[in-house]
Amino acid sequence: MQKQTLTNLDLDQLEQRYRARLVNSLSGAKSANLIGTSDSGRNTNLAIVSSCFHIGANPALLGMIIRPSSVPRHSFENILHTEHWTVNHVNSFIVDKAHQTSARYPRELSEFDAVGLTPEFLDNFPAPFVKESKIRLGLKLAEHLSLQINGTKLLIGEIQHIDFPMEAICSDGHIDLNAAGSLAVSGLDEYHELKSLARYSYAKPNQTLRKVNKR
Amino acid sequence: MQKQTLTNLDLDQLEQRYRARLVNSLSGAKSANLIGTSDSGRNTNLAIVSSCFHIGANPALLGMIIRPSSVPRHSFENILHTEHWTVNHVNSFIVDKAHQTSARYPRELSEFDAVGLTPEFLDNFPAPFVKESKIRLGLKLAEHLSLQINGTKLLIGEIQHIDFPMEAICSDGHIDLNAAGSLAVSGLDEYHELKSLARYSYAKPNQTLRKVNKR
């Protein structure tokens, strides 16, 4: 295996888009999610985001990095205004529509309409869910930070609503992402199915790891 | 498809480990990375982490959430002390060893030795890389935040070193994670290979999305 090595000085010399594609690939697999928001008049907005990540289980918290100057800026404004958003897992049936939400549509056009996905308002939750998504979360803004180092925003939401297919939940609470068809994304534009290798037992010193039954 | 719905009130009622497994599954696919650190005496430490995420390409920044009271606490102390760490993609050849690093080994025992992975010090970089990993990053601490909402730490590192197999880099800078065998993780303990569906073209309004050639 021949390797290529780059330093931060080499990175500085790279053409901007080449560098963006490269550096966006480096963290590894990312979650592929659609962020649903609405203004107070129920004008909806939908944006694909690969920057959602787990922060804590109790309270149940999800983080998301947003660069306000980039495409999801209407989503960002809606979140600050309504303090709610939805996170909808992308699956293979909607992946092309999901990616198309990253186009720079004018504010008055909903990406739901532009790409052909269906907004669904549940109970009194102020943000729209994606009907075609199988694992869906409703979040309420809990903390909002600006990262000094590059001015991006970290939005932290508390999970208030969860829905998922009955067949995706394992007896111990683990969710089988394969059963829900949830995809991963790498870099800026590559989408992947997940092919499960194993679930492993809780690791302890001096104890051999076992593969555990998935369900 | 029959669905199960939970609210935050339902979550509060769940048994603690069930809830941890469930909520850790909700963000979707996560990156599987080994974090290599060292104290000033080159006593090494290795911890599997699924919380690394992209923050920015220029400067090239990676974030990581750490709960200091949890297993990676020795890693956290080393990072605060040396201000450097490595991020090493987990592949299928080392996945069991990688998961085993999550056992609570005593401080004086290196997880490299305990699980059978090889530390590699490159040039003058103060943290050890994992020889068996194919995509590897060396980071320098750039920002360190405490999240008010639950006391977890957000460590942001600037990427100073990158190495990857020559065959994994595409002509436009995108990295083919399949070619490097990088895995995804879901929940607390399930590992997945990535099966590429497509790379899509840059999305524009009123333009049909194309699949683009991977290389």
Using only C-alpha atoms, chain B has a radius of gyration, in whole angstroms, of 19
Nearest residue in chain B measured CA to CA from A54: B27
Question: How many Cβ atoms are within 10 Å of A167's Cβ, its own excluded?
Answer: 12
Q: The dihedral of CA B185, B186, B187, B189: what is its sign?
A: negative
CB contact under 8 A, B200 and A189: yes
Shortest CB distance from B27 goes to which of A62, A103, A189? A62
CB contact under 8 A, A19 and B60: yes
Nearest residue in chain B measured CA to CA from A20: B57
Dist. CA B24–CA A199, nearest whole Å: 14
The model's pLDDT over A158-204, given as tens digits with 9 standing for 90+, comes to: 999 999 999 999 999 999 999 999 999 999 999 999 999 999 999 99
Shortest CB distance from B27 goes to which of A14, A53, A190? A53
Tokens of A166: 């009955």
The model's pLDDT over B124-157, given as tens digits with 9 standing for 90+, comes to: 899 999 999 999 999 999 999 999 999 999 999 9
Contacts of B204 in chain A (CB under 8 A): 103-104
The pLDDT score that the predictor gives to residue B70 is: 77
DSSP symbol at B97: H
Tokens of B58: 């220029």
Q: How far is CA A21 from the centre of its chain?
A: 18
* ipTM given for this complex: 0.96
Tokens of A142: 């809990």
Contacts of A62 in chain B (CB under 8 A): 26-27
Contact A16, A24 (CB under 8 A): no
The pLDDT score that the predictor gives to residue A1 is: 82
- Name residues whose C-beta falls within 8 Å of residue B18's C-beta, 6 or more positions apart in sequence: A172, A173
B21: left (phi over 0), alpha (psi -120 to 50) or beta: alpha
- The pTM of this model reads 0.97
Q: How far is CA A59 from the centre of its chain?
A: 19
Question: How many Cβ atoms are within 10 Å of B124's Cβ, its own excluded?
Answer: 5
CB contact under 8 A, A56 and B193: no
Shortest CB distance from B24 goes to which of A57, A101, A134? A57
Contacts of B2 in chain A (CB under 8 A): 165-167
Q: Are strands B44-49 and B52-57 parallel, antiparallel or unpaired?
A: unpaired
Whether the per-residue pLDDT at A92 is higher than 80: the answer is: yes
The model's pLDDT over B46-70, given as tens digits with 9 standing for 90+, comes to: 999 999 999 999 999 999 999 877 7
CB contact under 8 A, A189 and B182: no
Dist. CA A130–CA B112, nearest whole Å: 44
The model's pLDDT over A143-170, given as tens digits with 9 standing for 90+, comes to: 999 999 999 999 999 999 999 999 999 9
Locus of tokens 């947003």: A66
**Min distance A76 CA to chain B CA atoms (Å):** 16
